[in-house]
Amino acid sequence: MLKAGFIGMGRMGITHFSILNAHPSVKTVAICDQSKTILNFFKKYVGVNTFSDYDKMIQESGLDFVVISTPTDSHAEIIKAAIANNLHIFVEKPLATSSVQGNEILRLLNGRSLVNQVGYVNRFNEVFMQVKQLLDEGLIGEIKNFTFEMFGCTVSKDSKSSWRSNRNLGGGCMYEFASHCIDLVVYLIGQPNKVIGNVLQSIFSSDVEDLVSSTFIYDNRCVGNILVNWSELSYRKPTNRIEICGKKGKIVADKHAYKVFLKESDESHTFHTGWNTRYITDCAEGVHFYVRGNEFSRQLSYFVDFIEKKRANNTSNFAEALKTDIVMEEIFNNCMEIKK
Amino acid sequence: MDRIILGDNQFFGINHMSEEKAQALSEKFYDLKAIINVIDAAYDCGIRAFMLNTNERAKDICSYLRKNSARYADLRLYPSIPYPHKYADLVNEKGIFNAVKDIIISENSAKDIFGLLVKGSFTLFDRDSIKVMQLLIDTEMKIFHGLNIKVVFLQNVITDLLLGLGVKEIFIGYVNYIREKYSAEPGFITMNLPKLCNFLLDCGIENPIICSSINKIGYFMNPDISSYEKTIREKQFRPVAMSIFASGAIKPSEAVEYIHNLSNIKTIVFGASSGQHIKETKKLIESYLPVEDKKFQHV
């Protein structure tokens, strides 16, 4: 059994705990949080050891891995402590708030066989996984342009009390929301060579951006746009929509379905010429335990599997996640901010 | 329990297969009248059981049903609580536990929560999580007052989160409170039927009512379809099947035949957005699963 410790027990931390507590190869042994209420609840009803100091938890719990779900500004420091104690690490997205921190983390990991993963959960959605496979197989040929969008109504008023409204703590639409969209670009297309036309816009928030817009340029002359808005009132849930055009066709996808347009039919996938639609029901697969979406369980099972089998080069590892941090940093450095 | 329950996802723009379809539904049911027309069509073809969550629109539906109680004299509601999206903003802003505190403070009189306030600070979680759960249930159940409640389902996000934590006291507390306070049967919606069923039986909850996706292609069935079939065959519980058509991925007759071939399924929940569709689906279900069938006697 792998012994797990959890640092940060907000909504994501509790979700990760619930999923891993039901995993047959994992024993949840300790949690760490600043809230006494949370610690008391988990001690009394769940029966785990509780800490308010993560160093103490790491020292005293004999862990194999940690799950970090704290505000982003604290990630780097906690990750370093975990590496120093030879623990495998799963951390919520994004990796850190600067590429300097990210590079330092990679340097410390160098030479250690520790599984490291960032919670870019879209990589574990069946539709996006299928799209990735089709792109890798070259179904639509050389990619020439793309549009990736992400919308949700997470922020519908100015809220100063939350860390999400403070960029220094890792709040704002870029870190919290756009990171998912940019990671999906890195996953499916690759890291851009240049970002131009960067715009950050406040809609409701006074201290952070609610909208991110940017154009990605690649050395092979591929060009793509991202538009991310977490104050989009018409959406019930956060929604990703992607459109990728290649020389032989195009793919349009969201988490529930994808459509392929092809110039010529493709026998191996039974796609005919023109439009083809596939729904999630065509490719969905069960998970060991489902909470809030099977991609959340799938990413953690994958992480645990890599530890158990001592495998390396998992998707969404820190080196991969650093690419997204670099893109975000470039957008921040080169942006035009439009205040409310 | 009723044999057929009309689900409510379609009224609130929820479709698990396509975001476009979800938006189209949301537009279609913008007007309360459009929802009532569908409820009326279902009622007029003999459906008496309706599932309803607790979002803002559901509140309007309940008010309408109360005002027209003579028209819906036999109507039986199967609420599912809570509606988590309603609280998503608050949870994002303040975290789960602080959000719960806010909800309880804003929805209850000072008298109700007086015993939970200690020296001016709100330390109720530390003192009594079961009492907190009861206050949350009361908050959610307010919209159904005066209506005929048959089963109160705990919604799947909450059921499964708590199942993962393995907190037996809360499940037992839920069952007892729904029976005592609302004279209704407690039920649970889950995406993890085999695990939940074993857990509830371990808690000593006898013959529990469990609603889950059950369909021929294994959609939303975790960990897999064979574990579901085994649980349905071997365990003593009351299964309620939802998503039997897997959002339209399965041919209707095949979908119903699959349910028919599984023994022990007493109740089916299905959603439909037109009177015609409801009539056809009801007829189809009854052609495979006749009213006389012993396993569909009301319990």
Residues B93 and B188 in one domain: no
Determine, for residues B17 and A18 on separate chains, whether the beta-carbon distance falls below 8 Å. Answer: no
Which of B245, B166, B243, B186 minimizes the C-alpha distance to B212? B243
Which domain-ending residue is among B114, B130, B146? B146
Is the CB of residue B152 less than 8 Å from the CB of residue B178? yes
Reduced 3-state DSSP string for A140-156: CCCEEEEEEEEECCCCC
Grade residue B290 by pLDDT with cuts at 50, 70 and 90: low
Is the CB of residue B281 less than 8 Å from the CB of residue B272? yes
Determine, for residues A18 and B126 on separate chains, whether the beta-carbon distance falls below 8 Å. Answer: no
Per-residue pLDDT of chain A (340 residues; tens, 9 = 90+): 999 999 999 989 999 999 999 999 999 999 999 988 899 999 999 999 999 999 999 999 999 999 999 999 999 999 999 999 999 999 999 999 999 999 999 999 999 999 999 999 999 999 999 999 999 999 999 999 999 999 998 888 887 777 778 888 888 999 999 999 999 999 999 999 999 999 999 999 988 999 999 999 999 889 999 999 999 988 878 899 999 999 999 999 999 899 999 999 999 999 999 999 999 988 889 999 999 999 999 999 999 999 999 998 999 999 999 999 999 999 999 987 665 5
B291 min Cα distance to partner chain A (Å): 31
- The predicted structure's pLDDT at residue B123: 61
- The predicted structure's pLDDT at residue B297: 45
Amino acid of residue B77: L
Residues B22 and B82 in one domain: yes
Model confidence over B57-66: pLDDT tens digits? 899 999 999 9
Identify which of B17, B192, B220 has the shortest CB distance to residue A279. B17
- The predicted structure's pLDDT at residue B124: 62
Residues B161 and B274 in one domain: yes
Range(s) of the domain holding residue B98: 87-146
Which of B90, B270, B159, B22 minimizes the C-alpha distance to A255? B22
* CB atoms closer than 10 angstroms to residue A22: 22
- The predicted structure's pLDDT at residue A172: 93
Grade residue B10 by pLDDT with cuts at 50, 70 and 90: confident
CATH number at residue B224: 3.20.20.100
Average pLDDT on B11-29 reads 78
- The predicted structure's pLDDT at residue A154: 86
Residues B23 and B116 in one domain: no
Determine, for residues A236 and B22 on separate chains, whether the beta-carbon distance falls below 8 Å. Answer: yes
Residues B116 and B260 in one domain: no
Match 């399924």 to its residue by tokens: B265
Determine, for residues B85 and A281 on separate chains, whether the beta-carbon distance falls below 8 Å. Answer: no
Please give the helix or strand (H or E) that residue B162 lies within, else none. helix B156-165
Residue B38 has pLDDT above 90, yes or no: yes
Identify which of B13, B18, B162 has the shortest CB distance to residue A236. B13
Residue B165 has pLDDT above 80, yes or no: yes
Is the CB of residue A178 less than 8 Å from the CB of residue A257? no
Q: For residue B278, what are the CA distances in angstroms to B8, B94, B250, B261, B275? A: 13, 42, 17, 22, 5
Contact residues on chain A for B192, CB-CB shorter than 8 A: 22, 289-290
The rounded mean pLDDT for chain B is: 88
- The predicted structure's pLDDT at residue B291: 57
Residues B81 and B168 in one domain: yes
Residues B217 and B169 in one domain: yes
- Number of structural domains (chain B) is 2
SS3 B150: coil
Residue B118 has pLDDT above 70, yes or no: no
Beta strands in B191-289 (DSSP E): 209-213, 238-242, 267-270
Average pLDDT on B46-69 reads 94
Looking only at the bridges linking them, the beta strands covering B238-242 and B209-213 are: parallel
Enter the DSSP assignment of B291: T
Match 């200690």 to its residue by tokens: B118
Please, what is the end-to-end C-alpha distance for chain B in angstroms?
5
* CB atoms closer than 10 angstroms to residue A294: 23
Enter the DSSP assignment of B45: T
B295 min Cα distance to partner chain A (Å): 29
Q: Give all domains of chain A, ordered by start, each with its CATH number.
A: 2-121+294-316 (3.40.50.720), 122-287+324-338 (3.30.360.10)
B164 min Cα distance to partner chain A (Å): 4
Q: Which residue of A has its CA nearest to B129?
A: A41
CA separation for the pair A247, A237 (Å, rounded): 33
Residues B21 and B63 in one domain: yes
- Main-chain phi, psi angles of B238, to 5 degrees: -105, 100
Determine, for residues B164 and A22 on separate chains, whether the beta-carbon distance falls below 8 Å. Answer: yes
* Higher-confidence position of B246 and B123: B246
- Which pair of structure tokens corresponds to residue B147? 């209506």
Grade residue B87 by pLDDT with cuts at 50, 70 and 90: confident
Reduced 3-state DSSP string for chain A: CEEEEEECCCHHHHHHHHHHHCCCCEEEEEEECCCHHHHHHHHHHHCCEEECCHHHHHHHCCCCEEEECCCHHHHHHHHHHHHHCCCEEEECCCCCCCHHHHHHHHHHHCCCCCCEEECCHHHHCHHHHHHHHHHHCCCCCCEEEEEEEEECCCCCCCCCCCHHHCHHHCCCHHHHHHHHHHHHHHHHCCCCCEEEEEEEECCCCCCCCCEEEEEEECCCCCEEEEEEECCCCCCCCCEEEEEEEECCEEEEECCCEEEEEECCCEHHHCECCEEEEEEHHHHCCCCCCCCCCHHHHHHHHHHHHHHHCCCCCCCCCHHHHHHHHHHHHHHHHCCEEECC
Identify which of B13, B17, B93 has the shortest CB distance to residue A159. B93
Which of A32, A88, A80 minimizes the C-alpha distance to A56? A32
Lowest mean pLDDT among A57-66, B62-71, B258-267: B258-267
Determine, for residues A22 and B195 on separate chains, whether the beta-carbon distance falls below 8 Å. Answer: yes
Residues B43 and B122 in one domain: no
Looking only at the bridges linking them, the beta strands covering B121-122 and B4-6 are: unpaired
Looking only at the bridges linking them, the beta strands covering A249-253 and A257-262 are: antiparallel
* Higher-confidence position of A170 and B91: A170
CA atoms within 13 A of residue A285's CA, in its CB half-sphere: 12
**Any chain A CB within 8 A of the CB of B81?**
no
SS3 B224: coil
Which domain-ending residue is among B126, B146, B166? B146
CA separation for the pair B221, B231 (Å, rounded): 12
With vertex at residue B154, the alpha carbon angle to CA B148 and CA B158, rounded to the nearest 5 degrees, is 155
CA separation for the pair B152, B149 (Å, rounded): 7
Residues 6 or more apart in contact with residue B219 via CB below 8 angstroms: A281, A284, B213, B243, B246, B247, B249
* Higher-confidence position of B238 and B14: B238
Residues B132 and B162 in one domain: no
Edge-first strand order for the sheet with A116-118 is: A49-51, A26-32, A2-7, A65-68, A88-91, A116-118
Determine, for residues B96 and A14 on separate chains, whether the beta-carbon distance falls below 8 Å. Answer: yes
- Interfacial B residues in 171-190 facing A (CB < 8 Å): none
Determine, for residues A162 and B92 on separate chains, whether the beta-carbon distance falls below 8 Å. Answer: yes
Which of B82, B108, B110 minimizes the C-alpha distance to B96? B82
B49 min Cα distance to partner chain A (Å): 27
Residues B136 and B177 in one domain: no
Most B CBs within 10 Å, among A15, A27, A37, to test the B interface: A37
Residue B187 has pLDDT above 70, yes or no: yes
Which of B144, B171, B181 minimizes the C-alpha distance to B58? B144
Contact residues on chain B for A155, CB-CB shorter than 8 A: 89, 92
Contact residues on chain A for B17, CB-CB shorter than 8 A: 256-257, 279-281
pTM: 0.93
- The predicted structure's pLDDT at residue B299: 37
Which domain-ending residue is among B104, B125, B146? B146
Contact residues on chain A for B170, CB-CB shorter than 8 A: 45
Residues B44 and B175 in one domain: yes
Residue B163 has pLDDT above 90, yes or no: yes
Determine, for residues A292 and B157 on separate chains, whether the beta-carbon distance falls below 8 Å. Answer: yes
Determine, for residues A41 and B125 on separate chains, whether the beta-carbon distance falls below 8 Å. Answer: yes
Grade residue B121 by pLDDT with cuts at 50, 70 and 90: very low
